[in-house]
A and B are shown apart, each in its own frame.
Chain A
Amino acid sequence: MQPEYAIRTVNLQRTYKTKERVLKALDGVDLAVRPGELFGFLGPNGAGKTTTIKILTTLLLPSGGTAEVWGFDVLHEADAVRRHINMVSGGESSGYGLLTVRENLWMFTQFHGMDSKVANKRIDELLEVMGLADRAKTRVSFLSTGLRQKMNYIRGLLTDPDVLFLDEPTLGLDVEAARTLRTYTRHWLDTNPGKTVVLTTHYMQEADELCDRVAIISGGTILACDTPTSLKYSLQQDVVFRLFTTPVAPAFLQAVEQIAGVQSISQRSGDQRDELSLILRDDAILPQVLSQLANHNAGLLSLEKRQPTLEDVFVNLVGHSLSESETTA
């Protein structure tokens, strides 16, 4: 029976205590994800994405609040939760190197108590879909990181979970492999009504393209949660500019932030030039920004007015870009 919520958390908290300090990784996260949704977590390293996933997959105990997956409490009904979930983490080269691809995959179906015949049939199908059929008998130690990740992805789907957690699944994958994975995830959801995917990602475009709803998380708190379109629409009354300039000093950014009507400014440094994302209340504020540019001896290379992106939403909510957050982290 399908529950009302695939995932439901109320005031979810997680604290890590070390000798030196107490770190709040999650600070009151409330979530309600319905069956059939592809739900995304967007945030920098250390924002709380993976901590949330770890709690929901029963790998980590919460310090407070409640969390339910497919109607079961992660703390008191962990075994029941595990019957409905699977997880794929990216950016790691996991797998038993001495086993073949098929053996690795078959082994995990057995942990889930799948019939061997059914398991092998499903392994064949998914190997074919992910373009790994010719590697079925290859030892995992001979696979590239990308191919291992594809194998890992297949492992996640093999047991036909009700809730699939994808933790940065495309990290380290080449463009083609990442696209295959994204396309199949969407296809899997479309052809299996009621299945739910929770995706954490660094990639704005991935979240924008794939997710039905996105939660922007930073510092263990959800800052916003809506469809990508609605999140971007929330910035519609604002004006978004992209500027390419000669390298600017931090003092320039501080000066711009002081200008009334400047919602946010973020900087991405490149080779001999900076890219600035600027969100303003009104077009009329732009001349003041340009004047500051001149005051700080920086030159304007190009200027473009554009539609808001999820990156802009993130900057507007967090105060800086995702890449800046990661540098800070």
Chain B
Amino acid sequence: MQRFLQAFRVGAWLGWKTESNWTNPLFYILWSLLLPMSNGLIMTMMLRVLQRTGNASGADLLPYVFIGTVVYSIVALLLDSMAWAVLEDRERMGMLKYIAITPSSMYGYLWGRGFAKVSINFLAVPLTLTFGALVLDIPIRLSTINWPLLLVVSLLGLLIVTFAAQILAGVTLMIARHAGFVGQAVSGALYLFTGALFPITVLPNWMQAIARAVPLTYWLEGMRRALWVDAQNPVYNTGLNQLSTSNLLLILLGSAVAMAVISIPLQRRAEHRAKEKGLLDMNTAY
């Protein structure tokens, strides 16, 4: 555990240095804000157009879409963070081999890199939600937020995504740099299946089945319930309205445990395989 924490601390420190260092702080804050904000705005405009042309159900899905999109921005960042750290350290910096031969924990280091990336960008989430509440009239009010639920759901969700990111880092250890799109590809694919953009009920049945098997679907639902008092209103037909919050929490907890059980041996296996094939210091020069 001590080795893990030590490596986590160094990974977080390095992540902070490299992630926040490429521009001046003002531009960095602007960039962090504009990215999720512009995503939210695009979705809002699309939704408004659809509602005007009469193709929507009639219910105002704006809060659903807005919260889903903003929260999902963290998923995309975190999912890609560890895989990116592997590629960057191994092929751009040429340093992964030097880290691998130290007695520290590779997992701890990668978790630290992921933590740095998320914490640097995390501020954008509450700021964008505030922007939504003030400018787009999204019904998020400080007095109606379920803070304990928000805390628990956030933690469980972040754990689930972190373990998923660890799996992707393991996959990345075994592939060359030109295939470094794994994190982005997975987060892009999950965007469709997690109900970030639209209720999963609009999907064909077989896709709904996939969506219900993805833990992130429940995370986004939990975040909506914590932030938006009307999230469980049956009028939205999100496909998860009937699920009680306690059951939702149980699913999230079970998913976090399952992801841990799957990802830790998978990452170990990937590291072993990378050592077997001599990939820890691979430089594909793409």
* Cα-based distance from A111 to B7 in the complex (angstroms): 6
Contacts A82-B103, A99-B17, A107-B13 given; indicate if A60 touches B278 (C-beta within 8 A).
Answer: yes
User: Do A87 and B98 touch (CB < 8 A)?
Assistant: yes
* Cα-based distance from A16 to B282 in the complex (angstroms): 14
Interface-forming stretch among B89-97, B132-140, B182-190, B222-230? Answer: B89-97
A79 at the interface (CB under 8 A from B): yes
User: Do A87 and B101 touch (CB < 8 A)?
Assistant: yes
A93 at the interface (CB under 8 A from B): yes
B47 at the interface (CB under 8 A from A): no
User: Do A85 and B101 touch (CB < 8 A)?
Assistant: yes
Q: What is the 8 Å Cβ interface bit string for chain A, positions 93-119, against chain B (1 contact, 0 not)?
A: 111111100010001101111000000
A196 to chain B, nearest CB (A): 16
Query: What residues of A have a CB within 8 angstroms of the CB of B276 in the complex?
Result: 61
User: Do A58 and B95 touch (CB < 8 A)?
Assistant: no
Contacts A16-B278, A92-B94, A111-B102 given; indicate if A98 touches B18 (C-beta within 8 A).
Answer: yes
User: Do A61 and B275 touch (CB < 8 A)?
Assistant: yes
B99 at the interface (CB under 8 A from A): yes
Query: What residues of A have a CB within 8 angstroms of the CB of B18 in the complex?
Result: 96, 98-99
A57 at the interface (CB under 8 A from B): yes
User: Do A98 and B17 touch (CB < 8 A)?
Assistant: yes
User: Do B278 and A95 touch (CB < 8 A)?
Assistant: no
Query: What residues of B have a CB within 8 angstroms of the CB of A155 in the complex?
Result: 98
Output the nearest chain A residue to B278 by Cβ-Cβ distance: A60
Q: Which of B14, B22, B99 has the most CB of A within 10 A?
A: B14
By the criterion of a CB under 8 Å from any partner CB, how many residues of chain B are at the interface?
29
Query: What residues of A have a CB within 8 angstroms of the CB of B280 in the complex?
Result: 59-60
A54 at the interface (CB under 8 A from B): yes
User: Do B10 and A59 touch (CB < 8 A)?
Assistant: no
The DSSP consensus for interface residues of chain B is helix
B166 to chain A, nearest CB (A): 19
* Cα-based distance from A111 to B22 in the complex (angstroms): 24
A277 at the interface (CB under 8 A from B): no
A86 at the interface (CB under 8 A from B): yes
Output the nearest chain A residue to B272 by Cβ-Cβ distance: A61
**CB within 8 Å of A: which of B1-29?**
3, 6-7, 9-10, 13-14, 17-18, 21-22
* Cα-based distance from A83 to B104 in the complex (angstroms): 9
Query: What residues of B have a CB within 8 angstroms of the CB of A58 in the complex?
Result: 100-101, 275
* Cα-based distance from A107 to B95 in the complex (angstroms): 12
Kindly list 4 other residue pairs between chains A and B, CB separation below 8 angstroms, not including A95-B93, A108-B102: A59-B281, A60-B280, A82-B102, A112-B103
* Closest A-B pairs by Cβ, 5 of them: A94-B94, A111-B102, A111-B104, A82-B103, A110-B10
23 pairs from A and B in contact (CB 8 Å cutoff):
A54-B281, A58-B101, A58-B275, A59-B97, A59-B100, A59-B278, A59-B281, A60-B278, A61-B276, A82-B102, A82-B103, A87-B98, A94-B94, A94-B98, A96-B14, A96-B18, A98-B22, A99-B18, A108-B98, A111-B99, A112-B102, A113-B3, A113-B103
